Structure 1
């Protein structure tokens, strides 16, 4: 089945077919998203289980049972928050090392390293006898996340034909949402297995970890990675296999030239600080920051805890989390269909309004219906809370979730691709760590106003999109300077004629990759 690939750098059409090797390789690599999503979804449900609290956090369980103090402060425990946030701090640090291994050892080797971290981390968590083992396990899982998030998107981008690159890249984001849903279903089932149900929840993370690890043993590395590391003959052989044709000379020559240009940039992180790259760096950092300040991960991490605070019973809170997980998956499919049709800005602005209204509504419900001492929320209001949360999760999943990663990936050229992606991942994981570490404390002190805080952040990020984010839909990378940055009312001042536009436009380079496109 032919699928003509379009080179974003030269405008040439490359002959390519959608081969079984491409599909199987991309599907296998994307299973790393299952592991990441499972890590995101499992922690909130486990921390809400009484057996888990009895084992590691008895003071939290005692506070719940004695019903002393504010409902909002029942889970305000820094070590409990560290159980969730330690994974993302480890991912933040390991990403810097993963940038090196991805470049020097290849995409496939980096995925193997990620799989190894995942498996060892699962063993520590499932067999944890004390809090130290538990935290060490989460840190090892975080290292796996850092290495996987660095290598998998590059692998997907470089293996897939350009005509279906967006769809195959989105497999990673889709797998993340499926992993979250899978974790929610597991928590719902293991909650009734006493006293070791939480161990089963943590141990089942080994299933997606094994899928990634075994898959990485058998898949080929990308032609780009092989050529970049000097294996030109092997790279050309692999390119012929994944494209399903011997007519790969043009694409092969372009990859060789792109690799030469990339090797000439000795300090890509320093290059990002140059004046001409400030628009790219600013938008990347701001989008990643705003993505977390929507409050989405506070809900994804602590949904069962939050719902228990609102008066839900533990089983009902876990069941509701399953519903929001299913909404998350379906809404990601909506993003796959609409992003190249209606544009990035429109999706972000529409979703921002929807998220803003949801957050305000949640603040009103908590202010009027949840008191410091209330134990049960009225049935009708409980349904309203579920609808509000699903509406919020849905709007995020078809907008800021994937687009927060897609838009930066459309701007960085090859010579700063690895550095730019590291900045993306590091910024995202930094703010993910901060939100995971402080959310329960914020809930205790701010109470209902925590959602007012998030709604203000959403309003600010909407203004940022409206005034400072240009539309990048259907614009080749080599045309970004002329058609985007030089036309923007603010960013054009950084695009001086004397700047090396070749470096920023990405001429002579293949288009870059989305982490959660």
Structure 2
């Protein structure tokens, strides 16, 4: 699964036209949410099948795996990957096939130029930690960390526990997972159709406000009403359910899919694979940390855990507002020139990059 998480966003970002790249890439996240919803539905309907319901639920995971394996046999290589391996004619044919037109010479030459520069970089991980790569490295890692610090995995992983704690019962808790999964899938469609229109930063900032309000109000309600009985009045319980759905919707059209999209499009070719690998590794690390720490935090902080995540979301919104450049509509191989070198803060890190690029281009021309 981790291999697909790393490979698919990069694959889509490399083959998609710049003006549609965001929506096409988020389709990956959309199908993940649909898969989660289907899994929740299967769990819901097999929960009452005794004694083999859990076997049907677990074995059903083999069905999408089979389709995934068959689909991987017919998928095309990206033009960038082919050109990098000196298969230029095949890369040109793939580019024409993907774009559906014959006149792709300009884009083809841009890819060739980028691959020639990237070929001069023998140590991508070493280059990734140099000064001129710091903007992409920091933003790519922070996006993945922020994605986990929203508290979404807490809500999605432990939604049954949360709803049982509020006195809604075990069946209602399982049904709530289906409800949140449905909202997650439907709301991701907003990102699919909106990310290339309104931009990445708008969705991130808007949803940070939305999720912050949901966490704060939920924390206030639980702090006021959830006492030693571990139950709250039913009308407050339904308000909390609504707030959780409100939170999931905001996450699903912003930090969820954009946490994968933006890191897949911000790195130059010479550090793209290494950079996205680092971002994915950071996501897995913080997923593990949050999952392991949540129950301990919940026991000690109780309703205060919602305020903890609210503070994290406030910091995330500030990061997106002040330190994240807009990447909408920018070709992936022009990101340095049109995004990072024009950003008020990060441009100072790329001043030396001009010299490096000139030296590399000189070697290529020779």
TM-score, scaled relative to structure 1: 0.64
**Structure 1: stretches of 5+ with no match in the other structure:** 1-144, 507-517
Q: What corresponds to 2:217 in structure 1? A: 361
Show the 5 A alignment for 1:135-150. 145-150=1-6
1:283 aligns with 2:139: yes
1:396 aligns with 2:251: yes
CA distance in 2, matches of 1:383, 1:173: 28
1:299 aligns with 2:155: yes
Distance 1:474 1:498, change over 3 A: closer
Aligned partner (choices 264, 268, 291) of residue 120 of structure 2: 264
Confirm or deny: 8 A CA contact 1:481 1:501 kept in the other structure.
Answer: no
CA distance in 1, matches of 2:189, 2:244: 19
Q: Cα distance, 1:345 vs. partner?
A: 2.4
- Kindly report the root-mean-square deviation, in angstroms, between the aligned alpha carbons of the 2 structures: 2.5
Deviations 1:63-96 (A, max 9, x none): xxxxxxxxxxxxxxxxxxxxxxxxxxxxxxxxxx
Aligned partner (choices 313, 320, 332) of residue 465 of structure 1: 320
1:456 aligns with 2:293: no
TM-score, scaled relative to structure 2: 0.89
1:317 aligns with 2:173: yes
Distance 1:236 1:337, change over 3 A: closer
Q: Cα distance, 1:489 vs. partner?
A: 3.6
**Structure 2: stretches of 5+ with no match in the other structure:** 362-366
Q: What corresponds to 1:7 in structure 2? A: none
CA distance in 2, matches of 1:162, 1:487: 19
Q: Cα distance, 1:221 vs. partner?
A: 2.7
CA distance in 2, matches of 1:331, 1:468: 26
Distance 1:161 1:452, change over 3 A: closer
Distance 1:454 1:253, change over 3 A: same
Confirm or deny: 8 A CA contact 1:311 1:377 kept in the other structure.
Answer: yes
Q: What corresponds to 2:297 in structure 1? A: 442
Distance 1:220 1:347, change over 3 A: closer
Q: What corresponds to 2:364 in structure 1? A: none
CA distance in 1, matches of 2:114, 2:181: 40
CA distance in 1, matches of 2:101, 2:16: 14
Counterpart secondary structure, 2:229: coil
CA distance in 2, matches of 1:269, 1:499: 20
Q: What corresponds to 1:411 in structure 2? A: 266
Counterpart secondary structure, 2:73: helix
Q: What corresponds to 1:326 in structure 2? A: 182
Q: Cα distance, 1:391 vs. partner?
A: 0.4
Confirm or deny: 8 A CA contact 1:328 1:393 kept in the other structure.
Answer: yes
CA distance in 2, matches of 1:464, 1:214: 41
Deviations 1:484-508 (A, max 9, x none): 44444432332335744749xx9xx
Aligned partner (choices 42, 60, 63) of residue 186 of structure 1: 42
Confirm or deny: 8 A CA contact 1:191 1:315 kept in the other structure.
Answer: no
Confirm or deny: 8 A CA contact 1:312 1:377 kept in the other structure.
Answer: no
Counterpart secondary structure, 1:218: coil
Deviations 1:449-471 (A, max 9, x none): 11111111111222222332233
Aligned partner (choices 412, 426, 432) of residue 287 of structure 2: 432
Aligned partner (choices 8, 22, 28) of residue 166 of structure 1: 22
CA distance in 2, matches of 1:488, 1:246: 35
CA distance in 1, matches of 2:214, 2:127: 40
Q: Cα distance, 1:167 vs. partner?
A: 2.7
Q: What corresponds to 1:156 in structure 2? A: 12
Q: Cα distance, 1:265 vs. partner?
A: 0.9
Q: Cα distance, 1:426 vs. partner?
A: 0.8
Deviations 1:278-329 (A, max 9, x none): 1221111112111110101111122112222222211101111111111111
Deviations 1:95-137 (A, max 9, x none): xxxxxxxxxxxxxxxxxxxxxxxxxxxxxxxxxxxxxxxxxxx
